[in-house]
Structure 1
Amino acid sequence: MSVLVDALKDCGALQFGDFTLASGAKSKYYIDIKKASTNPKVLKLIAESMAEQLHTTDIKVDRIAGIVLGSIPLATALSLETGIPYVMVRKEKKDHGTGKMIEGVLNPGEKVLVVEDVITSAGSSVTSIGILRDAGAVVEDIFSVIDREAGGAEALKEIGVRFLPLVRASELLE
C-alpha cells in the first residue's frame, strides 16, 4: 500500500498540530481524508484498492454502504469501480422529506459492505451498522481508508464485524 500512503501524504491529507477528533480524543496529527476523496486521482486509487481488497478477500456483497458525509465519495467510487449498488446511511434522522435513515434501495437479507474514511474508536461505524442491521441488512465486513489504531478494530470485533483497513496510522506516520 505504499503507493496509497504516498498519495495520501502528497495530497496533504496528513497534517500535524493540535486536533480534537470526532471521538473527542486529542491528537498531534489529523488525517483529512476529504483532501484525498476530493482529489480524483487519489479517490480512484482508494476505490481500486478497496475493489482489489474485495477480490482478494473473496467477500461477496449485494450493497456498499457509505456513512454521510465523509464516506459517501468512497462508497460512490467503489460502486462505480465494482458495479455494486450503494446506499447512504445518515447519522441522524432528517426532520423533513421522508425522514429515512438509509437512502437508496436496501432489501432485507442483503449483505452489505460498509466503507469508512477514518476509523478511530469506530463509534459512528457501530451506530451505522446498527441502523443497517435494524433495516434487515447483513453486515459482516467494514473497509476503511485509515485505521487510527485507537480501539476501532476491537469495537467492531465486539459486534461481529471484520475490519479491513487499507492503511494503518502507523504506516502513514513512518
Structure 2
Amino acid sequence: MTDLFNDIYACKDEQAKNNAIVSIENILNKRLNDDEKTALRSTIRKAIVGNHFDVYSAKQRISQMYYTTTDGCIIHAPFVSERECAELYEEYKSQIKGYNLYDFSVVLNNVIADNYKLLYSWWPNEEWCIMLIKFCEIAVNWLNDDDTPFMGEKAWKLLGSK
C-alpha cells in the first residue's frame, strides 16, 4: 500500500491524482461501515489540520449545541453566522494565537450555549451586539486559560471528537 500511495503522491497529473482518490473513496465506501468511516475521517482530518477543527468537524460539533430559554424554547446553534464568526475571528485572532477560525467558531458557539441564560440574567435588557462582545471575550479567555494542559489545542481536545 505504501508504494501505491507514493505513486499517487509523486504523480504530477492532478486529474490522475483525483481519479486515484475517487477510486480509493469508492472502495472504502463499499467496505467500511459508518463507524469505520468516521474513524478514518478523523484520522485523516487530524493528519491534515492537527488537533484543530476544520469546516466539517466544526459544523458537526456546533450542530449539537443549544440552550433553553427561560420559557422553555430550545434554541439550536449556530448562534452566530459563519460570516460574522469570520469577522469576529479577524478581530480577535491576535489574542488567540495557535487557534484557527473553526476552533474559535466552535468555542464561541459553545460559550453562548453554556452561558446565554447566565449573562442575560445579569444584563436582561442588553442588546445582542453588546452581549456578543461579552461572549467573545469569554471565548478568548477560555482559549487562553493559563493552566490548561492543552495550550493551542484546547478547543479540539475538550470539544472535538476523538
With structure 1 as the length reference, what TM-score do the two structures score?
Answer: 0.28
Structure number with greater CO (CA < 8 Å, separation at least 6) is: 2
Higher strand share: 1
Whose helix fraction is larger, Structure 1's or Structure 2's? 2
Based on CA coordinates, which of the two structures has the bigger radius of gyration? 2
